[in-house]
Amino acid sequence: MRTKRFLLRSLQATDATTLFATVYGDPVVMEHVAGGAHASQSQTEAAITEYIDHEARNGFTFWGIEDRETSELLGDCGLYLLEGRGPEVEFGVTLRQRSWGMGVAAECGEACIEHAFQHLGLHGLVAVARAQNTGSTALLQSLGFEHEGSVDVYGGPHERYALGIDR
């Protein structure tokens, strides 16, 4: 998928070094992500392998966000079976700190939502975020997700948001 500034592409094993150094290994970035920061690059490699396998099985995954001008990998954005098993499909995004506040998540989120509804034929998406992750909750609301209450997922309390095709 292409947006004005970014390419959303399948992650590759060779992306592990960059993603571990700038995203998955960064405790600040991963503060509100289930499981927290990856302890090693091999943990990031395993996550990428799972994302690749998930896409092969389901036709969607967390895709890498590549800056079209610089070719830098900024993080991931995409769709995944909720808690890895579904049946609901979850929207999510994880960005390196240097890319926060630049509209990356919103631009890529819009592309993922459009892809979900227009190309994958999905009728709804969910998203979960910890209540204290105000950046994520604001993003979800700006993308049209509606707050549905609290749920216990990924081993702890999260706020649940939903978005339907008739948005």
pTM: 0.94
Q: Do residues 76 and 14 make contact, with C-beta atoms less than 8 angstroms apart?
A: no
Q: What are the tens digits of pLDDT across the range 13-22?
A: 999 999 999 9
**pLDDT given at position 165:** 67
Q: Give 45-90 as a DSSP string.
A: HHHHHHHHHHHHHHS--EEEEEETTT--EEEEEEEEEGGGT-SSEE
Residue located via tokens 């993308």: 143
**Mean of pLDDT over the chain:** 96
Token pair for 42: 């091999």
Tokens of 59: 């036709």
What is the sign, positive or negative, of the torsion defined by CA atoms of 50, 148, 32, 14? Answer: positive
Assigned CATH for 6-123: 3.40.630.30
With CA atoms as reference, report the closest residue to 81 among 38, 128, 117: 128
Place of tokens 């070094």: 17
Domain-wise residue ranges, the chain: 6-123
Answer yes or no: is pLDDT of 99 > 50.
yes
